[in-house]
Amino acid sequence: MITITFPDGREQEYAAGTTALEVAQSISEGLARNVLAAKVNGEVRDAQRPLTEDAELALLTWRDPEGQGTFWHSSAHLLAEALEALYPGVKLGIGPPIENGFYYDIDFGDHEISAHDFPKIEEKMKELAREKNEYERREVSKAEARSYYEEKGDPYKLELIDELEDGTITFYEQGQFTDLCRGPHIPHTGKIKAVKLMKLAGAYWRGDESRKQLTRIYGITFPKQKELKIYLERLEEAKKRDHRKLGAELDLFMFSEKVGAGLPIWLPKGNAIRERLMAFLRREQERRGYEMVTTPHIGHKLLYETSGHYEKYGSDSFQPIQTPREGEEFLLKPMNCPHHCEIYGHRPHSYRELPMKIAEFGTVYRYEQSGELHGLARVRGFTQDDAHIFCTTEQLKEEFLDVLDLTTLVLNKMGFADFTAQISLRDPDKPEKYIGSDENWDAAERAIIEATAEVKMKTTTVKGEAAFYGPKLDFMIRDAIGREWQLGTIQVDYNLPERFDLEYIGADNEAHRPVMIHRAPFGSMERFLSIFIEHTGGNFPLWLTPDQFGILTISDRFNDYAHEVQQELATADIRGFVDGRSEKVGRKIRDAEVAKTPVMLIIGEQEVEENTVSVRLRDRGDMGSMSVPDFIEAFQGWVAEEDATGQVKNEE
C-alpha cells in the first residue's frame, strides 16, 4: 500500500500502481470526468500514470493553470495529427502550450497553407477528437527514437533527439499519431470539444535566424463550446481596447523608425498622464521617507559585472559601447539597482541611518528581439518606478510590510483591487541559475512568506520564478475584461549588498551587511500604461485624464466667454480645452466623445447671458445648467467620489 497526501493535508492509502485518475474515481465520478492531469510531488504528470510510492497528490482540472496547460499541450498534438492527415509529408518542429492556447511549428515543404485552410483543419481536429483516442506514454531508447524519425524523414525531431540522454526519451501516441514528447497529456482526445485556429506566423527553427523559417500555427481549444464563445467575445473586446489603437486615437505616444524600434516617444497628452502617475507615487514615497536620486543612462561594464547582470543578461542587452580609450566599455543601463548600490556605498553608514530609502524613475534599456516588441507592453527602453531600501535584518519585516502597503495602495488607486500576490521562489533543481548562498536565500524567502502571512494576503507560490539574485513577490492583477497581468514586484536581496561589499556599523561597533529590498509598484511606466489604457478603454479617471473638460461653443460668437470660463477653471486646477471651431455642436460632442473627454461644457447664447455652462458627462449624459462656481464644486465632488476605474459614481 502507498499513502497519498491531498492538498488539504488529508491522507489515504491506496494499492501501489493505482493511477491518479483512479484516485479521482474513488472520490467521485464527476471529479474523475473533469481531471486533466495530476501534480505528483510538485511534478505535473499524466493522470493515467501509476503511483508507485507515497506521494503528495493534486488532481488538476480546467480550473488549474497546469490543467489548462496540459489540455493545450494535448491539443497541439491533435493539431499535428490533423496536419499530417491533411498534408502528407509535413515535418514537425515543436508544439508547446502557451499562455492562451498552443502553437505548432511545421515545415510544410511544397504544401501551401493560409488562414483560409483553417476551417478544414479545425474540422479534422474535431473529427479526430471525437474518436476519444487515449494519449499513451511510451519510453523508448535513443536508438529506437532515432530509427523511427529516420524512417519518417523528420530532421527536426532527430536534432532534438541528439540532445537527449538515453533513458530519458518518451513518445506519446494517440490514434495513428506519434510524437517525441516528455508530456504530460490529458487522458484522451474526447475532452477537446471546441477548436479555433487563430493565426499563422513565420518562426525560425529554434529561434535562430540563420536556420530555416517554419510555419507556426497558433490555436486555442476548450472543453466546452460556450467557453470558446466567451473567449472570442473577450478577444473582440480586447481589440477595441488595444493600447496601440487607443494610443494613436488619443494621441498619447508614438514610435519612429528613425528613432528605433521599441523606443516609445511620449506625446504631450500621454506624457501628462505619465507625469501625474509619477507625481502621485512621488508624494507617497516622500511621505514614507524615500529620497529621490538620478543616475546616468549608461554605466561602466565593470558595474554590471560586479552586480552579476552582465553574466546573466549580457547576451540580451545592447552591446557594449566602445570609447576612444582602449579597453574601456560602457553599457546602456539594463537595471537601476547597481547604480543605487554605488550610491549607498559611496560613504560609511551607521545603523542609526537605516533604513535608507532611495527612489528613481530611471530609464533602462534591454534588447528585445524585434518579433517580441509589442506597443508599450514590450519595448527596448522603459522607465521603472524603482526604489531600493537598505535596512538591517531586524528592520526587514517592517520595511517589507510598508512596501506591501504602498503597493496595495497603488493598485487600489488605479482600479486593480482584484489581485493576488505570487511568491516567486528559486528552482531547487537549478541552483546554477542563481547567485548567493543557500543561507541568504532561505532568509529572504522566509521574510516574504512571513510578511504576506501576517497581513493575510492572498498568495500563490511558484518555484523557479525568482530573480537570479533573490526571491520576489509579484502582483497578479485582473483587468476589466478578465485578463491576468503581472504588475509590480517586491524583491528581498541579500546578494547584491554582498557583491558590492556594502556595510553599516552596528550598535556593537562592528561592520554588518545590510539587506536590500527592490520594489516597483508600477513595474515600468510603459508596461503599466499599456495595461491601464486597455483596462479603462481610454476612459481615464478624472484626476488622471489629460483633459478633464472640453468647452464646446454653439457658435464662434461665444468663444470669448468660453475662454473666460477656461481661465476660471484653471485657477481651480481644473484643466481642459475650448473647441471654438466653426462646426455644429453635435459634431463637437461626437469628437469629444471619441477623444474620451469626461466632461463637456456646452456654451450658447443663454449660457453667456446667465453666466452658466450646460454640463454633459461622458457616462451620465446631460446634467443641466450650472454657474461656474457650482460646476467647480460639483466637479471636485466627482473627483472625490469617482471609483478607481474612472467612472463617476451614479447619484440617486
Q: One of 388, 519, 596, 616 is an active-site residue; which one?
A: 388
Whether 446 is catalytic is: no
- Report the Cα 144 to chain-centroid distance in Å: 41
Set of cell numbers at residue 178: 506519434
Whether 388 is catalytic is: yes
Q: One of 77, 185, 518, 616 is an active-site residue; which one?
A: 518
Whether 518 is catalytic is: yes
DSSP string, 62-123: TTSHHHHHHHHHHHHHHHHHHHHHHSTT-EE----EETTEEEEEEE-TT----GGGHHHHHH
Q: One of 68, 384, 395, 566 is an active-site residue; which one?
A: 384
Whether 472 is catalytic is: yes
CA pair distance 643, 259, nearest whole angstrom:
38
Q: One of 107, 154, 179, 386 is an active-site residue; which one?
A: 386
Q: One of 157, 241, 274, 366 is an active-site residue; which one?
A: 366
Q: 27 vs 4, 33, 146, CA distance in Å?
A: 13, 11, 42
Set of cell numbers at residue 365: 534599456
Whether 384 is catalytic is: yes
Non-local (6+) Cβ contacts of 436 within 8 A are: 469, 470, 494, 495, 498
Let me know: does 22 contact 55? Beta carbons within 8 Å: no
Whether 181 is catalytic is: no
Tell me how long the chain is: 652
Let me know: does 278 contact 272? Beta carbons within 8 Å: no
Q: One of 157, 174, 179, 337 is an active-site residue; which one?
A: 337
Neighbours of 148 (CB within 10 A): 17
Rounded to 5°, the CA angle 72-74-75 comes to 60
Q: One of 426, 472, 519, 596 is an active-site residue; which one?
A: 472
Q: Three-state SS across 360-414?
A: EEEEEECCCCHHHCECCCECCEEEEEEEEEEECHHHHHHHHHHHHHHHHHHHHHC
Helix (H, G, I), strand (E, B) or coil at 356: strand
Which residues are tagged catalytic? 337, 366, 384, 386, 388, 472, 518
